[in-house]
Chains A and B, each alone.
Chain A
């Protein structure tokens, strides 16, 4: 399984963009990059995933570098409700993997008024 490195914590002002980086230099060619977040003591919540192209959905954007060794999750207009622990998780396609998520350290994002 690919190892990831994320900052332990980050602050962001409300209304500004939050950019959360993740290094996954050992990621395999067929592994997707998934992002989940966990608001205090709630169940983790899926945000977005991608393989090599940038992705955008209603929650966030995902920028993956061309060499796929790192990615950045962007929350375009952070709100207080975005305060959470954010996890970057490489995951092989289903046929190579059962879909289990390995949660690493994650980044605690604190959005401040």
Chain B
């Protein structure tokens, strides 16, 4: 079965550079979530989109932005990268309904800022 695809799997950037992470949800899933997981930390919710509109926002820095496109894929744009942005970034997708359904996570993008 198709899963959530994230690219790239690994990314190395220098301080003050920009990075773009991509997420391709499971077909027919209309909601995408982004999470950040620092070393030894639990995943932290950043932002979500439902039907291409931002639906919720968590602890996402102003330097980061995201969007969901017409084909439902999503991109997380990160500018002025800092050393503290080094983390695993997970994307998840779900199909909404009248009650919650489970979210499926991708394998993540490991971002290293040097």
Contact of B58 among A41, A43, A100, A105 (CB under 8 A): A100
**Inter-subunit contact A103/B42 (CB<8 Å):** yes
B43 nearest CB neighbor, chain A only:
A103
**Inter-subunit contact B45/A104 (CB<8 Å):** no
Measured as residues with beta carbon below 8 angstroms from the partner, the interface class of chain B is 20 to 34
Contact of A98 among B48, B98, B102, B108 (CB under 8 A): B48
**Inter-subunit contact B105/A43 (CB<8 Å):** yes
Is B74 in the interface zone, CB < 8 Å from A? Answer: no
Give A107 Cβ to nearest chain B Cβ, in Å: 12
Given contacts A32-B100, A100-B33, A101-B103, A43 and B92 within 8 Å (CB-CB): yes
**Inter-subunit contact A46/B108 (CB<8 Å):** no
Contact of A102 among B45, B99, B100, B106 (CB under 8 A): B45
**Inter-subunit contact A44/B105 (CB<8 Å):** yes
Give A46 Cβ to nearest chain B Cβ, in Å: 4
A-B contact count (CB 8 A): 71
Give A81 Cβ to nearest chain B Cβ, in Å: 16
User: Which A residues fall within an 8 A CB radius of B?
Assistant: 32, 34, 38, 41-46, 49, 85, 87, 91-95, 97-106
Mask of B20-56 contacts with A, CB within 8 angstroms, 1/0 = 0000000000010101000000111100101000011
Kindly state the separation between the CA atoms of A92 and B92 in the bound complex, as whole angstroms: 18
Give A109 Cβ to nearest chain B Cβ, in Å: 15
For this complex, 27 residue pairs linking A to B, each with C-beta atoms less than 8 Å apart, are: A32-B99, A34-B102, A41-B88, A43-B105, A43-B107, A44-B90, A44-B105, A45-B105, A46-B104, A49-B100, A85-B42, A93-B98, A93-B100, A94-B99, A94-B100, A98-B31, A98-B48, A98-B55, A99-B33, A99-B48, A99-B94, A100-B45, A100-B48, A101-B43, A101-B103, A103-B43, A103-B44
